[in-house]
Amino acid sequence: MEEKVLEIINGHNKALSYDEILERLTDEEVPYLPEVLSKLIKDLKIRYTNKGKYAKFDDKSQKIGVFAANRKGFGFVIIDGEDKDYHISSENVNGAIDGDEVVIKVLDESRHEASVLRVNKRNLNNLLVGEFYKKGDKNFLKLDDDKLNIIVEILDEDAKGAVSGHKVVVKIDNKVNNSNYYQGKIIRILGHKDDPGVDILSIAARYQISDIFPDEVISELKNIPDEVKIEELKGRKDLTDEVIFTIDGDDTKDIDDAISIKKLDNGNYLLGVHIADVSHYVKEGTALGDEAYLRGTSSYLADTVIPMLPHQLSNGICSLNPNVIRLTLSCVMEIDDKGKLVSSDIFESYIKSKKQMTYKNVNKILNENVIPSGYEEFVSDLKLMEELSKIIRKSKIEKGYLDFDIPEPKIITDENGKAIDIQKRIQDTGENLIEDFMIMANETVATTIAYMDLPFIYRVHGLPDEEKISNFLKFVNILGYKVNANLKNITPKTIQNILKQLKDKKEYNILSSMLLRSMQKAVYDNVNIGHFGLASKFYTHFTSPIRRFPDLTVHRLLRTYLFNHNIDNEVVDYYNSTLPEVAKHSSEREMAATQCERDVDDMKMAEYMESHIGEVYKGVISTVTNYGIYVELPNLVEGMIKIDQLDDDYYFYDESTFSLVGKRSKKRYMLGEKLEIVVDSVIKDKGLINFRLNKGEKNGNSKQEGEV
């Protein structure tokens, strides 16, 4: 009907009255006209004239976009399909808050300046997180997200006994007087802001990640056994006599995957990847299943894990703990000496893991030939696995597999959750081995279903945008490096070659991060377009059903198609209709968890640096902006030197060289330059760390490069 009304209005040169539009509609359509007209006006498809009529929309100075607020009061509006953003000064924000869909009027096209005319759609989450405080005889919420320019009052009867300093989750109740003034009700008190762990829970709550499960989920746990029953083994392949074990981090408690290996008489390898059969316990249409869908993923936040499934499952009956029978789905693959898959079998099984290994101990065996106690009988299997892993990795690299080799931080905390150290996560032989085997299993499962041409969930990664890669190479050229690349036909090999040419450059870590950010993000989709970063035609997530809902969904699909042989039209139609939303929702929850993890890391890094204020460090410039420079320390902590801290000259941002330049001295601050800095200040709650240049301070705490 929207299209019909739009066609009626656009088909006339003159404005039409409400009645003139009405007479062109059927009796069934008439009741919907007010709603349709309102939406068309809102979407800038028609306009309402001063004479009360409806006409074509022809004001090109008005646009619809999403408002991105800055905590200083101004913001930008991002227009879908345009490569430029419009700056909105604080006086032209007109009540818009971060994430709002707004209508803007362009004030100066050349300077990309605009004002907000109205808010089309308020992006105000129903649940907000902040600190409860009293002002006079009223209660208010100090929002954690200071980009939300609103006031939230909490009536006494809705305060749940909160006192000043409590971090709370508030449900917005109503808007007062059509302004940015709201009333809300406290639905949960997280704890006092100074209590251990409340800092992480507060960030998690902002992303709708909860550490508690609904009552109906807890109730269903009563029906979940603590150990596998004999009747559950029926129809499954018994692998309990096989040498199967797990390799994980020192503190891992939710173990999804186990592995096994044999060398065949023909010289090929028989690799087994055995994954916890979560789908046996977490069924569709149950509270457990619905909650797993809503969460989408587990979140790993510094020293805190907020699981997708309750601990009774994630650490208990589903976890592949040693020396107990566990239900699994097995993917057994025959692989030749070139890393090519010869044959595969996917089936229901049960295992008894012979050993819970750690990466640390496996790396001692494979790298140092040191055998920790209790590992003696597994050394030959581990060395055979290493042999196969190297073959698989070589094959992946030859196909174009991209290894950006970007270091990640690991936050070390004390018993109260306070950050006491920051280390780089290790990606060594054992970690690579597990990664290689899991990728192989994921590809095998995806390929199996793809050739059956049945509805499925894939993990996809699209082709990079040619313009973004071109801009990256221009930036590299400005740094003085010549990189050859054919951008007319971008393949994984193209990006692999760029990384190879940059590998020996001092700015490699920074440049590889920039190149990664210029590429698309991997997401879940029911339509397969391949995985560019892995150079894989078919890829899925099969190996972590305890932690990720898409993997759980893949297990359900495998059971339906392969084990129950149910592929009739009704089943196919059902999955064709439901999987797009599952994929979309899973991608959204993954992005929320990823951003939450980053925010927690930033906050914990700031907390760690609080005890190092005034100390001197050496670092490198990782980003240059028009408001300052970011310096990264060897432990991956990043802080900012604001432009007004550079007080030896007036500095401006030179877009042509992506650097800050002194107006008088012509001194430049560029990416990759080494600087000696002093930790100036920290705002822990915001995850902000401020540096200043060291001007010869000697405080006895100077740290050498590489030492933090």
What is the pLDDT, as a whole number, of residue 326?
A: 98
pLDDT tens digit string along 577-621? 999 999 999 999 999 999 999 999 999 999 999 999 999 999 999
- 327 and 259 belong to one structural domain: yes
What is the pLDDT, as a whole number, of residue 700?
A: 42
Distance of alpha carbon 638 from alpha carbon 625, whole angstroms: 14
What is the pLDDT, as a whole number, of residue 22?
A: 87
What's the angle, vertex CA 350, arms to CA 345 and CA 356, rounded to 5?
A: 105
- 10 and 49 belong to one structural domain: yes
What is the pLDDT, as a whole number, of residue 434?
A: 98
pLDDT tens digit string along 253-308? 999 999 999 999 999 999 999 999 999 999 999 999 999 999 999 999 998 999 99
What is the pLDDT, as a whole number, of residue 705?
A: 43
Q: Does residue 558 contact residue 543 with C-beta atoms inside 8 Å?
A: no
In the three-class reduction of DSSP (H, G, I as helix; E, B as strand; rest coil), residue 318 is classed as coil
Distance of alpha carbon 97 from alpha carbon 150, whole angstroms: 8
- 393 and 496 belong to one structural domain: no
| Number of domains present in the structure of the chain | 6
Distance of alpha carbon 215 from alpha carbon 205, whole angstroms: 18
Domain presence at residue 602: no
Q: What is the mean pLDDT of residues 120-129?
A: 82
Higher pLDDT, 16 or 433: 433
Is residue 81 predicted with pLDDT exceeding 80?
no
% of the chain with per-residue pLDDT over 90: 72
% of the chain with per-residue pLDDT over 70: 98
Which of 19, 41, 56 is the C-terminal boundary of a domain?
56
- 348 and 241 belong to one structural domain: yes
Q: Does residue 379 contact residue 371 with C-beta atoms inside 8 Å?
A: yes
What does the mean pLDDT of the chain come to? Answer: 92
Domain presence at residue 346: yes
- 169 and 74 belong to one structural domain: no
Distance of alpha carbon 282 from alpha carbon 290, whole angstroms: 9
- 143 and 69 belong to one structural domain: no
Exposure string (b/e) for 465-477, b if CB count within 10 Å is 16 or more? eeeebeebbebbe
- 150 and 299 belong to one structural domain: no
Is residue 128 predicted with pLDDT exceeding 70?
yes
Q: What is the mean pLDDT of residues 340-367?
A: 98
- 288 and 433 belong to one structural domain: yes
Q: Does residue 512 contact residue 405 with C-beta atoms inside 8 Å?
A: yes
Q: How confident is the model at residue 440 (pLDDT cuts 50, 70, 90)?
A: very high
What is the pLDDT, as a whole number, of residue 63?
A: 87
> Which pair of structure tokens corresponds to residue 94?
């007109």
Report the CATH number at residue 161.
2.40.50.700
- 52 and 97 belong to one structural domain: no
pLDDT tens digit string along 176-221? 776 788 899 999 999 999 999 999 999 999 999 999 999 999 999 9
Is residue 706 predicted with pLDDT exceeding 50?
no
The partner residues of 689 in beta bridges, in order of sequence, read: 682
Burial class (CB in 10 A: 0-12, 13-18, 19+), 697: middle
- The alpha carbons of the chain give a radius of gyration, in whole angstroms, of 29
What is the pLDDT, as a whole number, of residue 39?
A: 83
What is the pLDDT, as a whole number, of residue 155?
A: 95
392-396, 436-440, 480-484: which range is least confident on average? 480-484
Is residue 348 predicted with pLDDT exceeding 90?
yes
Domain presence at residue 212: no
17-21, 213-217, 699-703: which range is least confident on average? 699-703
Domain presence at residue 150: yes
Domain presence at residue 607: no
- 232 and 116 belong to one structural domain: no
Higher pLDDT, 13 or 223: 223
Is residue 526 predicted with pLDDT exceeding 80?
yes
What is the pLDDT, as a whole number, of residue 176?
A: 77
Higher pLDDT, 84 or 103: 103
Residue 436: give the domain boundaries. 217-453
122-126, 246-250, 368-372: which range is least confident on average? 122-126
Report the CATH number at residue 631.
2.40.50.140
pLDDT tens digit string along 378-415? 999 999 999 999 999 999 999 999 998 888 999 999 99
Is residue 500 predicted with pLDDT exceeding 80?
yes
Distance of alpha carbon 440 from alpha carbon 451, whole angstroms: 17
What is the pLDDT, as a whole number, of residue 168?
A: 97
- 404 and 438 belong to one structural domain: yes
What is the pLDDT, as a whole number, of residue 698?
A: 59
What is the pLDDT, as a whole number, of residue 703?
A: 53
Q: How many CB atoms lie within 10 A of CB 91?
A: 9
Domain presence at residue 157: yes
Which of 396, 419, 453 is the C-terminal boundary of a domain?
453
Is residue 73 predicted with pLDDT exceeding 80?
no
Domain presence at residue 203: no
pTM, rounded to two decimals: 0.86
Domain presence at residue 531: no
Which of 418, 453, 488 is the C-terminal boundary of a domain?
453
What is the pLDDT, as a whole number, of residue 704?
A: 45
Q: How many residues does the chain have?
A: 708
151-155, 264-268, 479-483: which range is least confident on average? 479-483
- 105 and 160 belong to one structural domain: no
Is residue 360 predicted with pLDDT exceeding 80?
yes
Is residue 240 predicted with pLDDT exceeding 50?
yes
